[in-house]
Structure 1
Amino acid sequence: MKAVVHSEQGTADVLRLTDLDLGEPAAGEVRLRIAVSGVNPTDWKARSGLYGEGDIPVSVPNQDGAGIVDAVGPDVEGLSVGDRVWVTLAAHERPASGTAQEYTVVPAGRVFPLPEGAGFDLGASTGVPGITAHRALTVGEDLPTRIAPGAFDGKVVLVAGGAGAVGHAAIQLARWAGATVVTTVSGPPKSDYAKAAGAHHVVNYRDDDAAEQIRGFAPGGVDLIVEVAAGRNSALDLAVLKPRGTIAIYANDGDAPFAPNVRQNMGLNARYQFVLLYSVGWDKLTAAAEDLNAAIAAGALPVGEAAGLPLHYYSLDQAAEAHRAVECGATGKVLLKIAEL
Structure 2
Amino acid sequence: MTTHKAVATVAIRGKLALIDAPTVAPTGRQVCVHVEWTASTPLDLHQNDGGLLVTHPQILGDGIAGTVVETGPDVKNLAVGDKVFGFAFKENMQKAYQEYATVSETSLGKLPSEFSLQEAITLPNNTVTVFHAVTKDLGLPLEWPRLPSHTNPHADTPILIWGGASSCGQYALQILHAWGYTNLLATASPRHHEYLRSLGARHTFDYRDVDVASKIQRAVDNNTRTGPAVPFVLDCIASQQGSLTQIAGVAQKGTRVAALLPVIVRDATDDVAPEYAMNVQAAVDWAEGVEARGVRTHFYEDDVFFREHLQSSVVPELLATGIVKPNKQRIVEGATLLERAQAAMDLLRRKDVSGERLVWRVSDLEL
Instruction: Give the distance between the partners of 1:280 and 1:83, measured in 2 at CA.
Output: 25
Find out whether 1:311 has 2:330 as its counterpart: yes
Partner of 1:301 in structure 2? 324
Q: CA deviation at 1:143?
A: 2.2
The AA in structure 1 aligned to 2:119 is: L
Q: Percent same amino acid among aligned pairs? A: 20
Q: CA deviation at 1:320?
A: 0.8
CA distance 1:156–1:119, shift in 2 (3 Å): farther
Match runs of 1:66-77 below 5 Å: 66-77=65-76
**Is residue 206 of structure 1 aligned with residue 208 of structure 2?**
yes
Q: Is the 8 A contact 1:8 1:14 kept in 2?
A: yes
2:130 is matched with 133
Q: How does 1:1-341 map to 2 (within 5 A)?
A: 3-6=5-8, 8-11=10-13, 13-16=15-18, 22-51=23-52, 56-57=56-57, 59-89=58-88, 91-92=89-90, 94-139=91-136, 143-146=140-143, 148=146, 150=149, 151=152, 153-179=155-181, 180-185=183-188, 187-195=189-197, 197-220=199-222, 221-227=229-235, 228-229=237-238, 231-232=240-241, 233-234=243-244, 236-241=246-251, 244-251=254-261, 252-253=263-264, 255=266, 258-261=283-286, 264-266=287-289, 270-283=290-303, 285-286=306-307, 288-289=310-311, 290-304=313-327, 309-315=328-334, 316-317=337-338, 318-329=340-351, 330-331=353-354, 332-338=356-362
Q: Give the conservation status (yes or no) of the 8 Å contact 2:4–2:23.
A: no
Deviation of the 1:85 alpha carbon:
1.5
8 Å CA contact 1:34, 1:99 repeated in 2: yes
3-state SS of the aligned residue for 2:96?
Answer: coil
| Structure 2 CA distance for partners of 1:140 and 1:101, relative to 1, 3 Å | closer
Residue deviations 1:211-250, cap 9 Å, x none? 2322233214223111123533445434434653321111
Is the CA contact 1:30–1:105 (under 8 Å) kept in the aligned structure 2?
Answer: yes
In structure 2, relative to structure 1, the CA distance for the partners of 1:84 and 1:265 (3 Å cut) is farther
Paired letter, 2:347: A
Q: For residues 4-46 of structure 1, what are the alpha-carbon distances to aligned partners after superposition, in whole Å with 9 as ceiling and x for unaligned?
A: 3337223362322x66564321223101122211211112322
Offset of residue 183 of structure 1 = 0.8
Q: Is the CA contact (8 Å cut-off) linking 1:29 and 1:106 kept in structure 2? A: yes
How many Å separate the matches in 2 of 1:95 and 1:313? 23
CA distance in structure 2 between the partners assigned to 1:173 and 1:337 by the alignment:
28
1:63 is displaced (CA, Å) by 0.8
Q: Is the 8 A contact 2:87 2:124 kept in 1?
A: yes
| CA deviation map 1:177-225 (0-9, x unaligned) | 222221112x333435534544232111232332232223321422311
**Using the alignment, how far apart are the partners of 1:310 and 1:28 within structure 2?**
32
Q: Following the alignment from structure 2 to structure 1, what is the Cα–Cα distance between the partners of residues 185 and 9?
A: 43
* Matched residue, 2:272: none
With normalisation by structure 1, the TM-score equals: 0.82
CA distance in 2, matches of 1:19, 1:6: 10
Do the aligned partners of 2:93 and 2:103 also contact (CA within 8 Å) in 1?
no
For 1:167 and 1:258, locate their aligned partners in 2 and report how far apart those are by CA, in whole Å: 21
Describe the shift of the 1:53–1:253 C-alpha distance in structure 2 as closer, same or farther (beyond 3 A): closer
Aligned residue for 2:112, secondary structure, equals coil
* Residues 87 and 235 (structure 1), Cα distance of their counterparts in 2 relative to 1, 3 Å cut: closer
1:141–1:167 Cα change, 3 Å: closer
Structure 1 residue ranges without an equivalent (≥5): none
C-alpha distance in 1, partners of 2:155/2:291?
21
If the length of structure 2 is used for normalisation, what is the TM-score?
0.77
**What is the letter of the counterpart of residue 208 of structure 1?**
V
User: What is the letter of the counterpart of residue 312 of structure 1?
Assistant: I
Residues of 2 paired with 1:142 and 1:105: CA distance? 33
Provide the aligned length of Structure 1 versus Structure 2: 326
